[in-house]
Homo-oligomer: A and B are copies of this chain.
Amino acid sequence: MQENRKLTKPTFDNLSEEKRHLIIRTATSEFARNGFENTNINTIAEKAGISVGSLYKYFESKQDLFLFTIAHGTDVLKDVLSSIVPAALTLEEKLNALVEAIQTTSREQKELIRLYSELTSVGNSELVERLSYEIEAVSATMYTALMREEQKKGTIRGDIEAPMAAFLMDNLFISLQFSYASEYYRQRFGIYLGATIEERDRFVREQVVAFIMNALRREEEP
């Protein structure tokens, strides 16, 4: 489904970890700050302390560097997910941990989230389809499995399809991420709640968890 072309040239892999990370960090930062189009390859090179020529020895094109940056970024998020979802916790505890993780990473890695938002907005170009699978498959699989399991345990309603439950929950998570990372969504939060989202971290977490728990919870039998 997704093209599996490598996004880096071998020369990049041979670089010292320090240098590699500096390049990734710089590129992530620039793309997140300015979006794909407004990011200048020469600036990235300069800020990363290397020559443009070298950058093009490491990456085939600006687009490849961009895609790599995103792919790399989502790896970080996947790690967080993987440490929470399969853990030995109740559903409510997991939801709480997930929202907390979103709050933390969104703040710490605002740029990654912005990158993600940049990707989703590209609309119809080839840029889009390349990474959707790689980025979304992990959470789709984990969340759906989680829902199935909870249904088996009888903790959540049986009349909602597991993938759909997972999908809607993820929708809420993504919206939340945006609300932390994107300027536009931050403003929107203010319009709804009259405050900065960071000021209401705990409240947000509690309400989101409660909202999802109620949405999913099996009706108490009398």
List A residues at the B interface (Cβ < 8 Å): 32-38, 114, 117-125, 128-129, 132-133, 136-137, 140, 144, 157, 159-161, 163-168, 170-172, 174-176, 178, 182-185, 187-189, 191-194, 203-204, 207-208, 210-212, 214-217, 219-220, 222
Nearest CB in chain B to that of A38: its residue: B37
Name the 10 nearest CB pairs between A and B, nearest first. Answer: A37-B37, A121-B121, A171-B175, A215-B215, A132-B187, A167-B192, A120-B184, A128-B183, A164-B207, A117-B121
Instruction: Specify which chain B residues have a CB less than 8 angstroms from the CB of A163 in the assembled complex.
Output: 192-194
Number of copies: 4
Instruction: Specify which chain B residues have a CB less than 8 angstroms from the CB of A117 in the assembled complex.
Output: 120-121, 123
Q: Would you list 20 pairs from A and B whose C-beta atoms are within 8 A, ordered by A residue?
A: A35-B37, A35-B122, A117-B120, A118-B123, A120-B178, A120-B185, A122-B183, A128-B183, A128-B187, A129-B183, A157-B214, A161-B207, A163-B194, A164-B207, A164-B211, A168-B208, A171-B176, A174-B175, A212-B215, A214-B217
Question: Given that A172-B168, A178-B120, A192-B166 are contacting pairs, would A187 and B129 also be in contact in the complex, using a CB cutoff of 8 Å?
Answer: yes
